[in-house]
A and B are shown apart, each in its own frame.
Chain A
Amino acid sequence: MRALVVEDEDTLREQIVVALRAEGFAIDSSGDGREGLYLACEMPIDVAVVDIGLPEIDGLQLVREARNAGVTVPVLLLTARDTWQDKVEGLEAGADDYLAKPFHMPELLARLRALLRRAGGWAEPTMRFGELEIDTRAQSVSVRGEAVSLTAYEYRVLAYLATNGGEVISKARLLDHLYDEDEMRDPNVLEVFIRRLRQKLDPDKTLSPIETLRGRGYRLALERSTDT
């Protein structure tokens, strides 16, 4: 998943970026509203964390303009002014949730996970595809009730495919959503992750969880089994 963090306080922004990277997010970040708006419109982000009090243009304006520009990703507003009037204005501007400062990082991460889940149409923290279960809180995966040990990158690939369940995801899009700009983005490495994922999830080749559509990308081929 790729997250945008727009916060003008450098230390706090860095704390959020570090915590999100540790959670497996690729990150775009900015300290001012105008650059944040540019990143929101131009980068393939999946979720955004936006502070309300920003230089250049404030967070509300950023969200409003991004929505007008067709950006539909979930937005979490950070606000020090946590009155209900501010919250209502933030939600009407296009935000999906708010978090009042000061906050604990685990709460921020939980809110982002919930937003991503809801954006994918999942009400519960666990995504189920037949015998495959992905617990987004614990970042754990199990097949037929048996835990499957995945690396952070493998989990990210699987979680992204699951969140967009049924949709064909191109290699370029997967790379965009999994890696930071400055990281090595080798499609061959991605193929390796996919191969390893298939081996771990389907060692006896009876499940076929990930389908390759030649020239187009990958798709989670399992039927979603939990209604929202």
Chain B
Amino acid sequence: MSLSARLVAGSVMVLAVFLGLTGIAISYSVHQRADAASQDRLQGLVFGILGATNVSDSGELSVSMGELPERTLALEGAGLYAEIVDSDGMRLWRSRSIIESVPPVRASAIGDWQQELVKLANGDHARRIQLQTVWEQDNGAELPFIVHVVDARGDDVRAMARFNRSLWATLLGVAAVLLVLQLAVLRAALGPLRKLGRDIDAMTQGNKEVLEEDFPKELSPLATSVNALHARERGRHESYRHLLDDLAHNLKTPLAILHNLDDSTVSTQANSMQRSIDRYLQRAATETTTTLTPSVLLLPVLERVAESMRKLHQNPALQFEHDISPTAALRAPEADVYEVIGNLYDNACKYGAHHIRTRLHDGVLSIEDDGPGFDADNPQDLLTRGARADAFTEGKGIGLATVKQFVVAWGGEVQLARSDLGGARCSLTLRSMIG
């Protein structure tokens, strides 16, 4: 799972939990306050009914409709219903706004308020509040009764539902805005990481030699370390190469002396030592190719080698044609690129070519000439005849073997064929190496 996906998933989860809990807390709190307000209102209504109640000397209870605090009690089907019953449950009075099937009240202690949600016949719920009280008459007689009010209008419930819908819609909107902001912040915060990734890719493809170190301070040590590691690795690679070169240099001068002594045994041994040195130098060069190799522009190499060939072979008719973009680059050590081009051009010139054409098309670098071409019926055999360079005879084969060793080490392949120029064509497939 990518770092971005993890951070986005984490942010979404935190946001959902936070806003969910916030919504629940707000809803609960508002509900509580709405309940309390409703209770207060119904209690006020009960007190209002008691205020409009009168008990005659004969003990008959009556309620003056005109003094009732809530006009809706006088309207049928208004949803607000009040009733007064005696302690045996016998109705003493009820409002005109009848509600069917209100469950009977239960007796309780004098002065007790009871509040509950009751289920009506139509399945709706209504809020009921009741007060058990006693009317003390002038003659000292007491009339115990219960006043209860049922509010089936559902105003509170609808208001709460509206509030809840509005609350969650708002929270969802806030969540969406916060999520977009969070993504923008994440994108900005992860930008340097993405740039680091791109820069490292460019390094591995040879398009960049070092990482810039203008990263945020958290990433800057990483970039510095990668650069140091890369420099150390390249330095070590270069150092090995130079040490090998120096060793070869120091051995080859004494070998040149031994070669020219009048002693055939010494000369034979010197030849054998020279072949070993050349073979192992070649292997060291092809087997120590580094991953983070910078790219080499091909055209300057081709032109420099071509110019050297004109000088070496002193052939004024020698014509080099380079059909290649000036920006085409090969991801390989520069010295190795010179070795491959040098060997191929030198082969062509040695064998009498006058026109050498080099083209790069679809990742294949082809070098063709108008020389005599390959003697063999199947030129590819020149490359498959033995896998070691020393298995080749001196001359064309050794140069091609060297070319093959380098190209194979780069992950490419070599094809030999006849060119339409009349001579040899050597095609190097270098798709993964061309930058």
Q: How far is the CB of A202 from chain B (nearest CB, A)?
A: 33
Give the residue name and chain of the A residue nearest to B285 (CB): A83
Q: Does B257 contact A (CB under 8 A)?
A: yes
Q: How far is the CA of A125 from the CA of B252 in the complex (A)?
A: 30
User: Which chain B positions have C-beta within 8 A of A123?
Assistant: 314
Question: Pick the contact of A81 from B248, B304, B342 — CB < 8 Å?
Answer: B248
Known contacts A84-B341, A85-B334; is A12 also within 8 Å of B257 by CB? yes
**Which stretch of A25-33, A89-97, A191-199 is in the interface?**
A89-97
Known contacts A9-B257, A88-B305, A101-B253; is A83 also within 8 Å of B312 by CB? no
- Quick check: A53 and B249 within 8 Å, CB to CB? yes
Please give the residue numbers on chain A whose beta carbons come within 8 Å of chain B beta carbons, in ascending order.
9, 11-12, 15, 19, 53, 80-81, 83-85, 87-88, 91-92, 96-97, 100-105, 118, 123
Please give the residue numbers on chain B whose beta carbons come within 8 Å of chain A beta carbons, in ascending order.
245, 248-260, 270, 274, 304-305, 307-308, 311-312, 314, 334-335, 338-339, 341-343, 346
Question: Pick the contact of A104 from B250, B260, B308 — CB < 8 Å?
Answer: B260
Q: How far is the CA of A123 from the CA of B313 in the complex (A)?
A: 11
User: Which chain B positions have C-beta within 8 A of A84?
Assistant: 305, 338-339, 341-343, 346
24 pairs across A/B with beta carbons < 8 Å? Answer: A9-B253, A9-B257, A12-B257, A15-B260, A80-B253, A83-B335, A83-B342, A84-B338, A84-B339, A84-B343, A84-B346, A85-B338, A85-B339, A85-B342, A87-B342, A91-B312, A92-B304, A92-B308, A101-B252, A102-B253, A102-B256, A102-B258, A102-B259, A102-B270
User: Which chain B positions have C-beta within 8 A of A11?
Assistant: 257
User: Which chain B positions have C-beta within 8 A of A81?
Assistant: 245, 248-249
Q: How far is the CB of A154 from chain B (nearest CB, A)?
A: 28
Give the residue name and chain of the A residue nearest to B342 (CB): A84
User: Which chain B positions have C-beta within 8 A of A12?
Assistant: 253, 256-257, 260
Q: How far is the CA of A81 from the CA of B259 in the complex (A)?
A: 17
Q: How far is the CA of A112 from the CA of B274 in the complex (A)?
A: 23
- Quick check: B338 and A88 within 8 Å, CB to CB? yes
Q: How far is the CA of A85 from the CA of B304 in the complex (A)?
A: 9
Question: Pick the contact of A83 from B256, B314, B338 — CB < 8 Å?
Answer: B338
User: Which chain A positions have C-beta within 8 A of B346?
Assistant: 84
User: Which chain B positions have C-beta within 8 A of A91?
Assistant: 307-308, 311-312
- Quick check: A101 and B341 within 8 Å, CB to CB? no
Q: How far is the CB of B200 from chain A (nearest CB, A)?
A: 28
Question: Pick the contact of B248 from A80, A105, A118 — CB < 8 Å?
Answer: A80
Q: How far is the CA of A101 from the CA of B278 in the complex (A)?
A: 11
Q: How far is the CB of A33 from chain B (nearest CB, A)?
A: 15
User: Which chain B positions have C-beta within 8 A of A97?
Assistant: 312
Q: How far is the CB of B237 from chain A (nearest CB, A)?
A: 16
- Quick check: B256 and A103 within 8 Å, CB to CB? yes
Q: How far is the CA of A123 from the CA of B270 in the complex (A)?
A: 33
Give the residue name and chain of the A residue nearest to B267 (CB): A104
Question: Pick the contact of B314 from A9, A105, A118 — CB < 8 Å?
Answer: A118
User: Which chain B positions have C-beta within 8 A of A105?
Assistant: 259-260
User: Which chain A positions have C-beta within 8 A of B339?
Assistant: 83-85
Q: How far is the CA of A81 from the CA of B278 in the complex (A)?
A: 11
User: Which chain A positions have C-beta within 8 A of B314?
Assistant: 118, 123
User: Which chain A positions have C-beta within 8 A of B312?
Assistant: 91, 97
Q: How far is the CA of A81 from the CA of B70 in the complex (A)?
A: 114
Q: How far is the CB of B407 from chain A (nearest CB, A)?
A: 15
User: Which chain B positions have C-beta within 8 A of A104?
Assistant: 259-260
Q: How far is the CA of A123 from the CA of B315 in the complex (A)?
A: 10
Q: How far is the CA of A9 from the CA of B248 in the complex (A)?
A: 15
User: Which chain B positions have C-beta within 8 A of A100?
Assistant: 252
Interface hub of A85, A91, A96 (most chain B Cβ within 10 A): A85
Q: How far is the CB of A113 from chain B (nearest CB, A)?
A: 14
User: Which chain B positions have C-beta within 8 A of A83?
Assistant: 335, 338-339, 342
